[in-house]
Amino acid sequence: MVARRLVEALVERDATSRWDVEVYGEEVHAPYDRVALTSYFDLSGPEELLLGDASLWDTPGVTLHTGTAVESVDASARTVVVGGQERRYDALVLATGSYAAVPPVEGADLRGCFVYRTVDDLDALRTWVSEREAALGRPVRGAVVGGGLLGLEAAGALTALGTETTVVEFADRLMPVQVDAGGGEALRRLVEGLGVAVRTSTATSRVVADDAGRVERMEFASGDPLDVDVVVFATGVRPRDELARGAGLAVHPRGGVLADEGCRTSDPAVYAVGEVACVSDRVWGLVGPGYTMAEVVADRLLGGEATFADADLSTKLKLLGVDVASFGDAFGTTPDSLEVVYADPVQGLYKKLVLSLPESAEGPATGALPDAATVCSCNNVTAGTVRCAVTDQGCTDVAGVKACTKAGTSCGSCVPMVKQLLQAQLAEAGIEVGNDLCEHFSLSRAQLFDVVRVSGIRTFSELLTTHGRGRGCDVCRPVAASILASLYQEHVLDGERAALQDTNDHVMANMQKDGTYSVVPRIPGGEVTPEGLIVIGEVAKDFGLYTKITGGQRIDLFGARIEQLPAIWSRLVDAGFESGHAYGKSLRTVKSCVGSTWCRFGVQDSVGLAIALELRYRGLRSPHKIKLGVSGCARECAEARGKDVGVIATDHGWNMYVGGNGGFTPRHAQLFAEDLTTEQLVRAIDRFLMYYVRTADRLQRTAPWVESVEGGIDAIRAVVLDDSLGIAADLDAAMDAHVGGYRDEWAATLEDPEKLRKFASFVNAPDVADPDLAYVPERGQKRPATAEERGVVIGGPTLPVRTAGGPL
Ligand SMILES: Cc1cc2nc3c(=O)[nH]c(=O)nc-3n(C[C@H](O)[C@H](O)[C@H](O)COP(=O)(O)OP(=O)(O)OC[C@H]3O[C@@H](n4cnc5c(N)ncnc54)[C@H](O)[C@@H]3O)c2cc1C
């Protein structure tokens, strides 16, 4: 990666008129994006990983030799040996990177043990997993040794390959270099939520082979052994400094070619850059500092005096659905620093801010970032450079800014900030700001929906290839999953869709503050038979679940462990219950009052209508959650006007209201149509919902959507009731297709062993409960123990932990 950047920097400086540049790479591929290596499993081939513009290698004066290792260096003769032939150089740059270090554990070289560094490593891993799966006729059991950034990324990749994965970490928490105990705990919950088992404080002592010399079992210094079919070691990297050692160049005692601030080694004609270099007494291990070194050397080769001063060591975990970032003095080692901890376990959030200026904890908004602030640490791009790309170089989209500044072209974690800066700058310049979904799609969510609908595309990869670019991100992947689910009634965990989902959708349950899950069977309209209630009660009793009636008139069962979900749902499905979709961006509930059948004031059968509506729209995937309410008279006991769609009975039929919600910003629904018959009402709701599903932005509820549509509620009314756009038949057909194609997700999951494999906590000991779970009795049930009750202190010394959401 760094060698490529050096060549690019030389070409940019027209250095090829003075230097003939020969690049030797041992790998058979041209330089590729190792940072994005994990996405390789989603791509059609290694060529999609290649870095930048391939025409770089056609530049006169530049030659790339792939599949060609340099065998040795003779610094005094200024020659290298390649394929047994000597080649002379005037200046030599070592950019040989690192190799994956494997600990000296017995059996670490057995068949079935891998490292995670190159495209070839990933090819070999994938082949092994698929061959073993075919031979064993059951899911492959995998372990990743190392719970750091790379190990977790590898664990995500193994899981995506269908492997039951356990991460084994020597330290007492995941990512011990980046996060503290509280962060490690939050991270563990999220990772386990993806179906990956975690063993911390566990030292691997031995890998044991079967009769054919393949990995079969791992043994540890303490704890039970683990049966495995594949092991990935992600236990760090070491600089590939063997050429330098052979040439007698100075190397650091712990590895790495010693180089000065100009990246010059102990031989003035030899430079070292990237992960192999030890500059300022350390090896840097990230691509950003390597790119800075490449710029330094390019300048030096042209007689400049550039120096490598320091580099940003911020890191971000690349695991869909698990966002971890850590930078600066994350452990608060600065004297007198103050730690502010915000923990919201319900949302799976843990944030710690270490302040050296206790007076103010407020950071500047992105628009107010000073020009000198680094935005992209991989490529060392500041906010000022991004702004100049807009004002001086005329960039109007993220792709343009990336091409112009290189910001966001490596790990990509800064792209949201680049986008914000771009939009702020465009707005300041009076230029209309587009509504692109993200940098991978120059389309709004609504446009993307139309593309999928009209083209009939059924997979994210096809959508990306035909209408997007790059590899996708945490924004566009779940949006695409939702669009595909809205249009085609296919299971959320089918094929590549499973990997696109957020954590809750992934296991079709809601993760709670202690990392367990809640189970919410659908109770249409809030009506439930005594037999149904008894089954729910028995399930709760047998699995020790806390029960609570929710605001949506159904019963929530809390405290289920991930591996219990299939057994719980099996009992519920047998009793006729279905998924309540409490986890999805989809229809939640249709709340109702008692209605005319029992209530003295009711003028219509609100319960019957609520049940019909709930059964009609169940499972409808949408930009945000949707709630409906039906009241049997104007007394409004169902609080229908606090819903996305509210229905209130009149003497002549039904009044329909739209755009209401509770939550953070409560909104009263507005009157949409009066005195509709039941048939008219259902069609109007069909069209309203389908129009919303098609045209709203990502995570936009109906209230802001109604406001955002040009012409507001009147325009929507015209579309729905008067077919002003001529799309009513299309909307009707789409809703009919949804209703006709509905299938309960949990029932389908229980029938499919492949899908059931996702539900394991400790894959090697499925019946063992997570020892971290602790409960105390309260009001005849159980609830999670607080930190104090568990004897755990979370957070900084000065401020208590704040949790959002309050008690159950
Ligand atoms: C899965 C994964 C995820 C990562 N994620 C991030 C991230 O999010 N952020 C980040 O900053 N960094 C990340 N990294 C690290 C990043 O990839 C490296 O910092 C970067 O690749 C270093 O670039 P380099 O040019 O020094 O080495 P490399 O990219 O490793 O290139 C060195 C090349 O030299 C070749 N070579 C070695 N010896 C010889 C020889 N004798 N003759 C010819 N060729 C030789 C090697 O085969 C290799 O192709 C990640 C790495 C991996 C594996």
Dump pLDDT digits (tens) for 290-340.
999 999 999 999 999 999 987 777 777 777 668 888 887 888 777 777 777
pLDDT band for position 461 (cuts 50, 70, 90): confident
| pLDDT given for residue 792 in this prediction | 43
Q: Which atom of ligand 1 is nearest to the CA of 38?
A: 1
**Is residue 161 within 8 Å of 129, Cβ to Cβ?**
yes
| pLDDT given for residue 454 in this prediction | 83
The edge-to-edge listing of strands for the beta sheet with 654-658 is 587-592, 626-631, 645-649, 654-658, 670-676
Whether 418 lines ligand 1, by a CB cut-off of 6 Å, is no
Q: With a cut of 50, say whether residue 799 has pLDDT above it.
A: no
Whether 695 lines ligand 1, by a CB cut-off of 6 Å, is no
Q: With a cut of 70, say whether residue 764 has pLDDT above it.
A: no
Q: With a cut of 60, say whether residue 15 has pLDDT above it.
A: yes
Using DSSP's 3-state secondary structure scheme, residue 476 falls into helix
Question: Which candidate, 449, 451, 442, 465, places its Cα nearest to that of 396?
Answer: 442
3-state secondary structure 755-807: HHCCCCCCCCCCCCCCCCCCEEEECCEEEECCHHHHCCCCCCCCCCCCCCCCC
Question: Which candidate, 495, 465, 458, 507, places its Cα nearest to that of 480?
Answer: 458
Q: With a cut of 80, say whether residue 20 has pLDDT above it.
A: yes
| pLDDT given for residue 503 in this prediction | 66
CA torsion 98-100-105-107 (nearest 10°) is -130
Poorest-confidence range of 144-158, 495-509, 728-742? 495-509
Higher pLDDT, 59 or 710: 59
Ligand 1, atom 11, residue with closest C-alpha: 286
Q: Which atom of ligand 1 is nearest to the CA of 273?
A: 26
Residue 677 one-letter amino acid: T
pLDDT, tens digit, for every residue of 141-159? 999 999 999 999 999 999 9
Q: How far is the CA of 721 from the centre of ligand 1 (A)?
A: 60
**Is residue 549 within 8 Å of 558, Cβ to Cβ?**
no
Q: Which atom of ligand 1 is nearest to the CA of 37?
A: 1
Tell which one of 87, 286, 292, 379 to mutate to probe ligand 1, the residue whose CB is within 8 A of the most ligand atoms: 286
Contacts within 8 Å (CB) and 24+ apart, 351-354:
352/180, 352/182, 352/183, 352/795, 352/796, 354/328, 354/329, 354/330
Q: How far is the CA of 98 from the centre of ligand 1 (A)?
A: 6
**Is residue 489 within 8 Å of 495, Cβ to Cβ?**
no
pLDDT, tens digit, for every residue of 79-88? 999 999 999 9
pLDDT, tens digit, for every residue of 421-440? 888 888 787 776 667 788 78
pTM of the complete model: 0.59
Q: Which atom of ligand 1 is nearest to the CA of 71?
A: 41
| pLDDT given for residue 490 in this prediction | 76
pLDDT band for position 368 (cuts 50, 70, 90): low
Question: Which candidate, 195, 780, 797, places its Cα nearest to that of 508?
Answer: 195
C-alpha distance across the termini of the chain, in Å: 50
Question: Which candidate, 580, 569, 578, 498, places its Cα nearest to that of 754?
Answer: 498
Which residues have C-beta within 8 Å of that of residue 12, sequence separation ≥ 6?
A: 298
Using DSSP's 3-state secondary structure scheme, residue 96 falls into coil
Higher pLDDT, 620 or 413: 620
Q: Where are the alpha helices (DSSP H) in 218-328?
A: 242-246, 287-301
Mean pLDDT on 441-457: 87
Question: Which candidate, 156, 168, 154, 159, places its Cα nearest to that of 139?
Answer: 159
How far apart are the C-alpha atoms of 358 and 738, rounded to whole Å?
55
**Is residue 564 within 8 Å of 540, Cβ to Cβ?**
no
- Determine the Cα angle at 402 with ends 400 and 406, to 5°: 140
Tell which one of 7, 96, 257, 284 to mutate to probe ligand 1, the residue whose CB is within 8 A of the most ligand atoms: 96
Q: How far is the CA of 49 from the centre of ligand 1 (A)?
A: 13
| pLDDT given for residue 500 in this prediction | 67
How far apart are the C-alpha atoms of 241 and 252, rounded to whole Å?
10
Q: How far is the CA of 75 from the centre of ligand 1 (A)?
A: 24
| pLDDT given for residue 414 in this prediction | 77
**Is residue 474 within 8 Å of 320, Cβ to Cβ?**
yes
Tell which one of 6, 34, 118 to mutate to probe ligand 1, the residue whose CB is within 8 A of the most ligand atoms: 34
Q: How far is the CA of 192 from the centre of ligand 1 (A)?
A: 29
Mean pLDDT on 436-455: 86
Mean pLDDT on 215-224: 93
User: Could you give the maximum distance between any two Cα atoms of the chain, in Å?
Assistant: 103
Higher pLDDT, 727 or 808: 727
The per-residue pLDDT of the chain, averaged, comes to 88
- Identify the DSSP state of 708: H
Ligand 1, atom 27, residue with closest C-alpha: 97
Whether 2 lines ligand 1, by a CB cut-off of 6 Å, is yes
Whether 27 lines ligand 1, by a CB cut-off of 6 Å, is yes
Q: How far is the CA of 1 from the centre of ligand 1 (A)?
A: 6
Which residue has tokens 């680049």?
A: 418
Q: With a cut of 70, say whether residue 459 has pLDDT above it.
A: yes
Percent of the chain past pLDDT 70, that is, above it, reads 92
DSSP state letters, 417-467: HHHHHHHHHHHHTTPPPP--SBTTBSS-HHHHHHHHHHH---SHHHHHHHH
Q: Which atom of ligand 1 is nearest to the CA of 24?
A: 43
How far apart are the C-alpha atoms of 69 and 48, rounded to whole Å?
23
Q: How far is the CA of 186 from the centre of ligand 1 (A)?
A: 30
Ligand 1, atom 24, residue with closest C-alpha: 97
Q: Which atom of ligand 1 is nearest to the CA of 275?
A: 26
Question: Which candidate, 682, 641, 674, 647, places its Cα nearest to that of 659?
Answer: 641
Q: How far is the CA of 99 from the centre of ligand 1 (A)?
A: 8
Q: With a cut of 60, say whether residue 359 has pLDDT above it.
A: no
| pLDDT given for residue 51 in this prediction | 92
Q: Which atom of ligand 1 is nearest to the CA of 318?
A: 8
Backbone φ/ψ region at 624: left (φ over 0), alpha (ψ -120 to 50), beta:
beta
What does each C-alpha distance from 214 to 76, 210, 217, 224, 743 come to in angstroms?
47, 5, 9, 20, 42
| pLDDT given for residue 379 in this prediction | 84
- Identify the DSSP state of 356: S
* Two tokens, residue 182: 């509280």
pLDDT, tens digit, for every residue of 42-75? 888 899 899 988 999 999 999 999 999 999 999 9
* Two tokens, residue 216: 């079969």
- Determine the Cα angle at 245 with ends 239 and 246, to 5°: 130
Q: Which atom of ligand 1 is nearest to the CA of 153?
A: 1
Which residues have C-beta within 8 Å of that of residue 405, sequence separation ≥ 6?
A: 376, 379, 381, 385, 386, 389
Q: Which atom of ligand 1 is nearest to the CA of 413?
A: 8
Q: How far is the CA of 92 from the centre of ligand 1 (A)?
A: 18
Q: Which atom of ligand 1 is nearest to the CA of 288?
A: 11
Poorest-confidence range of 240-244, 316-320, 446-450, 536-540? 316-320
Enclosing H/E stretch for 243: helix 242-246
pLDDT, tens digit, for every residue of 520-560? 999 999 999 999 999 999 999 999 999 999 989 999 999 99
Ligand 1, atom 10, residue with closest C-alpha: 286
Ligand 1, atom 6, residue with closest C-alpha: 35
